[in-house]
Amino acid sequence: MKYCKELIAVLILITGLFLLKFNPISINLNPGSIIGLVLIVLFGSLITIAGIIKMPSFFILPLLLFAFFDLRALGLFIFAFIGNSVVNSAENNMIEPKIQNLAKVAFSGYTIFVLISVLVIYNSIQFKIPTAVSGLAINLLVPVIGCETTYTGQECVDSLVNEMISGQCGDNILCISTLNDQRTELELGFIQQLENQFPTFSKNETIQNILVSSLENQVMMLIGDYDWVFKAVMAFAIFTVFQFLGNLLSGLSGIFAIILLKILEATGGVNKETKEVEKIIFST
């Protein structure tokens, strides 16, 4: 394959662009996060191969252009540039290069990529009540609000008005008719009451979401000026988790690199040669 280095450079660029879209280093885990982790593994394996086949580092420069739109692209460029350079140097100094070891070396710039990604999402980090805690709190608050958690705000208001009319009038048709004529005023009264109790009340949101967001707002008010402490702790936790994952991802990257090298070898993209080398041994 005549343009093997160019092909690897293009694949690194394409994988990097997809990583910007499915970057797993975020505050929310979703299916896209799994795709992002797989892309990091693929990105690392391509960097490993780039270093092995002595791909010039300037081939990675196009990644820098996207840093103007997304700062994480700068992290990817540093990840690729350092990884390619270090693998190239390490491979030259090995008598029998081991792909798995080179893949770990390729992740030398991974820490900087993680750090930049965390800094990018820092301002968007917000307090979220754990599901178990919010579920318990909702069970306690449902009797207060008087509606099912699956109701929307409007459905809840309608239910409260109907219960009030039924409670006050019973089967009295004249009473029911009179209160129904005042239904708009009654609804406004309940809406104002609910807004006073739960500031995030909305006609279109479910009661469950209203209760959770109201609780989170109350906690944020208590945190007040110490919000930065929470953000700093969360950012450090995210950084630590993905640093730990880096060891696992580099191992998987080595497996991917072996597979890709086999494919390139089979298609004539790379040639494997065995050379004799002299080894100096000191003895006494």
- pLDDT score for 79: 93
The SS3 of residue 65 is helix
Domain holding 60, by residue range, is 4-127+230-266
On whether residue 10 sits in a domain, the answer given is yes
The Cα angle at residue 115 between residues 251 and 78, in degrees rounded to 5: 70
Domain assignment of residue 28, yes or no: yes
Residues 105 and 199 occupy one common structural domain: no
- 48 and 68: one domain? yes
DSSP 140-198: HHHHHHTS-TTSBHHHHHHHHHHHHHHHHHTT-HHHHHHHHHTHHHHHHHHHHHHHHH-
pLDDT value, residue 3: 66
Instruction: Look at the block and give the residue holding tokens 């950012």.
Output: 235
* pLDDT tens per residue across span 149-163: 788 888 888 888 888
**pLDDT tens digits, 248-257:** 999 999 898 8
pLDDT of residue 115: 93
pTM: 0.70
Same-domain status, 58 and 189: no
55 located within any domain: yes
Residue 216 maps to a domain: yes
Task: Please tell me the predicted confidence (pLDDT) of residue 276.
Answer: 61
Residues 210 and 87 in one domain: no
Average pLDDT, integer, range 49-73: 87
User: Taking 80 as the threshold, does the pLDDT of residue 54 lie above it?
Assistant: yes
pLDDT for res 211: 80
pLDDT score of 207 more than 60: yes
Task: Specify whether the CB–CB gap between 246 and 232 falls below 8 A.
Answer: no
Same domain for 198 and 243, yes or no, is no
User: Do 212 and 258 fall into the same domain?
Assistant: no
For residue 284, pLDDT over 60 is answered with no
One-letter amino acid of 274: T
> Above pLDDT 70, what percent of the chain?
85
Q: For 138, list phi and psi in degrees, rounded to 5.
A: -65, -40
Flag whether pLDDT at 281 surpasses 60.
Answer: no
Query: Looking at the structure, do residues 121 and 14 belong to the same domain, yes or no?
Result: yes
Task: Specify the pLDDT at position 111.
Answer: 92
Residue 9 tokens, joined: 């450079």
- 3-class secondary structure, 152: strand
φ, ψ for residue 30, nearest 5 deg: -155, 175
Q: What is the mean pLDDT of the chain?
A: 82
The answer to whether position 38 is within a domain reads yes
CA-nearest of 108, 105, 117, 122 to 254 is: 105
One domain for residues 113 and 241: yes
Residues 123 and 135 in one domain: no
Number of structural domains in the chain: 2
Same domain membership, residue 112 and residue 182: no
